[in-house]
Amino acid sequence: MLAGKRILLGVTGSISAYKSALLVRLLVKAGADVQVVMTESAQTFITPLTLATLSKRPVLTQFVANAQTGEWTNHVELGLWADVLVVAPASAHTLARCANGLADDLLSAMYLSARCPVFFAPAMDLDMYQHPATTGNLARLRSFGNQIINAEYGELASGLVGEGRLAEPETIVQTLTAHFSRRPELVGRHILITAGPTQEPLDPVRYISNHSTGKMGYAIARAFALAGAQVTLVSGPTALPLPAPGVRRIDVRSAKDMFDATAAEFPGADLLILNAAVADYTPLHVADLKIKKKESEFALDLTRTTDIAATLGARKQPGQWLMGFALETDNEHANALDKLQRKHLDWIVLNSLRDTGAGFGYDTNKITVMDKAGQTHEFALKSKDAVAQDLLDLVARAMTAPSA
């Protein structure tokens, strides 16, 4: 979402200015075009050469670039060029300047000229951050329509511990990604997603499971959350972190746990995406004690688990949408189409284990999507984040169609 975006990065006088090097690197790596503007005091903490090298653009520091030739920096033009202005770190002094409309340096003049969204990421000692002057300036900047990336809690340069640390560069990049990912048609929609494997217990030690990592479901949750949707993620056991801020995660273990949690959330959902690899069978009896190795052969009695897609598909109300997944090894299209129709789904997303780079464990996936209208959408092998974006686009188009 940051590819091709023009980002003005203002760096001010704070010890955390050293983090701006990593921030520039992350933005450039994401494909953004970054122009750095530094205040005079910022240059005492990190050199313009460092940020120029990383951004691949000369760093701007003064109104007048060359007094002898009359070369000057057009702050108005910069303000019109940018898709977004980010001031990180934003010192108490710069916050006060911008909040009160002062324009005695290039950065503050550029801020007053900017027509694009503006983000401030404060960084200072905790007493400065909590001072009424600073909190008042932050409130004033918010009232102008600017967005504040709140300082974080932790150990500060003074040795004190509290709020005032610059938000980590990854957090700032994620905030900008969410800004550019926002889809008005999805804002406020409740998206319910299942992800990961289930574990069916045999005894207190062992269980039956599968190879699902949850990567695809978590990528989908991240895409919808960044687009502005309200996301609830019902997750089987995985090692993955929360996919995005604001995602509500419900951790479950067994197929029954997943059904119970999903069924409870379903009535309030606009869209249910069933991506989890749920066990079809579970042990009929779970041993209270560890099963000992005695016989040369060992048999398990298994019973069917509740079919979440079929059960909730039958409960679907007008205005609700269901997307299922089918991981197949043979007769792929026929099996997926049968599942689409039999379980009253709106879409079925087909994965084939015959496709290299698709299936469990990979960071990539190759999908074919069939819908209830009889349309088939074929996609090339992509990263799972890109696949999630393709699915989001399909859903967004359907939800905004005249008949939706």
The residue written with tokens 């048609």 in the block is: 185
Contact 10, 94 (CB under 8 A): yes
- The answer to whether the annotation marks 256 as part of a ligand binding site is no
d(CA 119, CA 141): 10
CA nearest neighbour of 253 among 236, 233, 265, 241: 236
Asked if residue 21 lies in contact with residue 46, where contact means CB atoms within 8 angstroms, the answer is yes
User: How many other C-beta atoms are found inside a 10 Å radius of the C-beta of residue 131?
Assistant: 14
Task: Measure the CA–CA gap between 221 and 208, rounded to whole angstroms.
Answer: 26
Q: 5 a known binding residue? A: no
Based on the residue annotation, tell me whether 66 is a catalytic residue of this protein.
no
Q: Per the structure block, which two tokens stand in for 374? A: 């009889």
Q: Which of 137, 146, 210, 331 is catalytic?
A: 210
Residues contacting 178, CB < 8 A, separation 6+:
225, 226, 228, 244
Instruction: Give the C-alpha separation, 9 to 310, whole Å.
Output: 51
Task: Decide: 141 and 120 in contact? Cβ < 8 Å.
Answer: yes
Q: How far from chain centre, in Å, is Cα 183?
A: 13
User: In the chain, how long is the greatest CA-to-CA distance?
Assistant: 94
Radius of gyration of the chain (CA): 26
280 belongs to an annotated ligand binding site: yes
The Cα–Cα gap between 138 and 120 comes to: 9
Ligand-binding site membership of 339 (annotated): yes
Q: Are 210 and 165 in contact (CB under 8 A)?
A: no
Q: Measuring CA to CA, which residue among 31, 53, 56, 41 is closest to residue 10?
A: 41
Q: Which two tokens stand for residue 146?
A: 């600017």
- In the annotated binding site for CTP, the residues are 280, 290, 325, 339, 343
**Catalytic residue numbers, as ranges:** 210
- In the annotated binding site, the residues are 280, 290, 325, 339, 343
